[in-house]
Amino acid sequence: MKNIAKELAESMPNIGAKLAYGEPIEVAGTTIVPVAMGSYGFGAGEGVGEGEQNEGSGGGGGGMAIPVGAYITKNGSTRFEPNPVALIAVSIPFVCVAGWAVARVVKAWKR
**Other CB atoms closer than 10 Å to residue 4's CB: what's the count?**
16
DSSP labels, 13-76? -S-HHHHHB---EEETTEEEEEEEEEEEE----EEEEETTEEEEE----EEEEEEEEEEEEETT
User: Is residue 111 situated within a structural domain?
Assistant: no
User: Is residue 31 situated within a structural domain?
Assistant: yes
Instruction: Over range 25-47, report the average pLDDT.
Output: 85
User: Is residue 103 situated within a structural domain?
Assistant: no
pLDDT, position 21: 84
pLDDT, position 4: 61
- 45-101: per-residue pLDDT in tens? 777 877 777 888 887 878 788 888 999 999 989 999 999 988 888 788 889 999 999
- Say how many domains are in the chain: 1
pTM: 0.54
User: Is residue 45 situated within a structural domain?
Assistant: yes
User: Is residue 27 situated within a structural domain?
Assistant: yes
User: Is residue 109 situated within a structural domain?
Assistant: no
pLDDT, position 38: 79
How far is 53 from 90, CA to CA, in rounded Å?
A: 50
User: Is residue 32 situated within a structural domain?
Assistant: yes
pLDDT, position 55: 82
User: Is residue 39 situated within a structural domain?
Assistant: yes
Q: Which domain holds residue 38?
A: 4-83
